């Protein structure tokens, strides 16, 4: 998976937090003078994700691709 970091003004936090409910691998949210969210995305999710974040923030968000991370996902049986 791809590790990404997005940084944006507090003004957009509520809308982005709501948008991130669609993504299950949010690793961390850091509050300083701005908000930084660290998350993991599949390759095929990146471009659509970037477009949506830039749309929400009127192009002001900073999006960094940090690198690849490997994640173990345990499958559960129904029942």
Is 60 part of any domain? Answer: yes
pLDDT reading at 28 higher than 90 = yes
What pTM, to 2 d.p., does this model score? 0.83
CATH (domain of 8): 3.30.70.240
pLDDT at 47: 95
Count structural domains, the chain.
1
pLDDT at 74: 73
Q: In which domain, by residue range, is 35 found?
A: 2-68
pLDDT at 44: 93
Is 75 part of any domain? Answer: no
Is 77 part of any domain? Answer: no
Residue 60 and residue 9: Cα distance in Å, rounded?
8
Is 48 part of any domain? Answer: yes
Is 27 part of any domain? Answer: yes
Digit-coded pLDDT (tens) for 39-64:
999 999 999 999 999 999 999 999 99
Is 79 part of any domain? Answer: no
User: Taking all residues of the chain, what is their mean pLDDT, rounded to a whole number?
Assistant: 91
């Amino acid at each position: 998976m791809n590790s990404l970091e997005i940084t944006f003004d507090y003004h957009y936090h509520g809308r982005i937090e709501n948008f991130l409910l669609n993504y299950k691998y949010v690793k961390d949210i850091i509050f300083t003078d701005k908000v930084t969210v660290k998350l993991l995305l599949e390759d095929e999710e990146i471009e659509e994700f970037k477009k949506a974040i830039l749309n929400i923030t009127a192009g002001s968000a900073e999006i960094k691709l940090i690198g690849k991370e490997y994640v173990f996902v345990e499958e559960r049986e129904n029942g």
